[in-house]
Chain A
Amino acid sequence: MSEELIYTRPESLRERKTHYCPGCGHGIVHKLLAEVMDELGIREETIIIAPVGCSVLIYDYINADGIEAAHGRAPAVATGVKRVHPDKIVISYQGDGDLLAIGTGETIHAANRGENISVIFVNNAIYGMTGGQMAPTTMSDQITKTTPYGRNVQDVGYPIRACEMLNTLAAPVYIERTSIHDVKNIRKTKKAIKKALQNQMDGKGYSFVEVLSTCPTNWGVAPVKAAKWVETAMVPYYPLGVFREEKETV
Chain B
Amino acid sequence: MSKSVLMKGNEVLAEAAIRAGCTHYFGYPITPQNEIPAYMSKEMPKRGGCFLQAESEIAAINMVFGASGAGARVMTSSSSPGLSLKQEGISYLAGAELPCVVVNMMRGGPGLGGIAGSQADYFQATRGGGNGDYRTIVLAPGNVQEIADLTVQAFDLADKYRMVVMILGDGYLGQMSEPVILPEPDVKPVPKPWAVSGAKGREPNKVMSLRLTPDDYLEKHNIHLQELYKKVEGEVTQSEAYMTDDADYLIVSYGTSSRIARKAVKMLRNEGVKVGLFRPVTLWPFPMKELHDLSKKVKKVLTVEMSAGQMLEDVNIAVNGVTEVDFLGKLGGALPEANEIVKIVKSYG
| A-to-B contact residues, CB < 8 Å | 43-47, 49-50, 56-57, 59, 63-70, 73, 76-85, 88-89, 105-106, 108-109
Contact of B62 among A46, A50, A69 (CB under 8 A): A69
Residue ID in chain A nearest B70 by CB atoms:
A84
B209 CB-CB contact with A under 8 Å: yes
| Contact (Cβ within 8 A) B209 A64 | no
What are the 10 tightest A-B residue pairs by CB atom distance, in nearest-first order? A80-B66, A68-B208, A76-B62, A84-B70, A80-B67, A77-B66, A73-B62, A80-B63, A109-B55, A65-B196
Q: A76-B60, A79-B59, A106-B55 are in contact. List 9 more A-B contacts (CB 8 A).
A: A59-B208, A64-B204, A65-B196, A65-B199, A67-B196, A68-B210, A76-B62, A80-B24, A81-B67
Provide the residues of chain A in CB contact with B4, threshold 8 Å.
none
B204 and A80 form a contact (CB under 8 A) = no
- Complex Cα spacing A105 to B52, Å: 16
Residues of B within 8 A of A65 (CB): 196-199, 204-206
- Count of A-B residue pairs with CB < 8 Å: 133
Q: Which of A59, A63, A73 has most chain B Cβ within 10 Å?
A: A73
* 26 chain-A/chain-B pairs, Cβ below 8 angstroms: A47-B70, A47-B198, A49-B66, A56-B210, A64-B198, A64-B199, A65-B196, A66-B205, A67-B196, A68-B210, A70-B65, A70-B92, A73-B62, A73-B89, A76-B63, A76-B65, A77-B62, A77-B63, A77-B66, A80-B26, A80-B63, A80-B64, A83-B67, A84-B50, A84-B70, A85-B197
B74 beta carbon closer than 8 Å to chain A: yes
Task: Encode contact with A along B208-245: 1 for CB under 8 Å, 0 otherwise.
Answer: 11100000000000000000000000000000000000
Q: Which of A56, A66, A67, A109 contacts B66 (CB 8 A)?
A: A67
A73: chain B residues at CB < 8 Å are 58-59, 62, 65, 89
Closest chain B residue, CB of each to CB of A113 = B52
In the assembled complex, the Cα of A81 lies from the Cα of B74 at a distance in Å of 11
Chain B hits for A83, CB < 8 A:
24, 50, 52, 63, 66-67
B contact residues around A108 at 8 Å (CB): 55
> Closest approach, in angstroms, between the C-beta of A179 and any C-beta of chain B?
29
With a cutoff of 8 Å between Cβ atoms, the chain B residues found around residue A63 in the complex are: 199, 204
Name which residue of chain A comes closest to B72, CB basis.
A84
Contact of A105 among B23, B59, B206 (CB under 8 A): B59
Check if A68 sits within 8 Å of B62, measured CB to CB: no
Contact between chains at A79 and B52 (CB < 8 Å): yes
Residue pair B67, A106 in contact (C-beta under 8 Å): no
A89: chain B residues within 8 A (beta carbon): 198
* B215 smallest CB distance to A (angstroms): 16
Which residues of chain B have C-beta atoms less than 8 A from A57's C-beta?
Answer: 210
Chain A residues closer than 8 Å to B207, beta-carbon distance: 66-68
CB pair B197 A77 closer than 8 Å: no
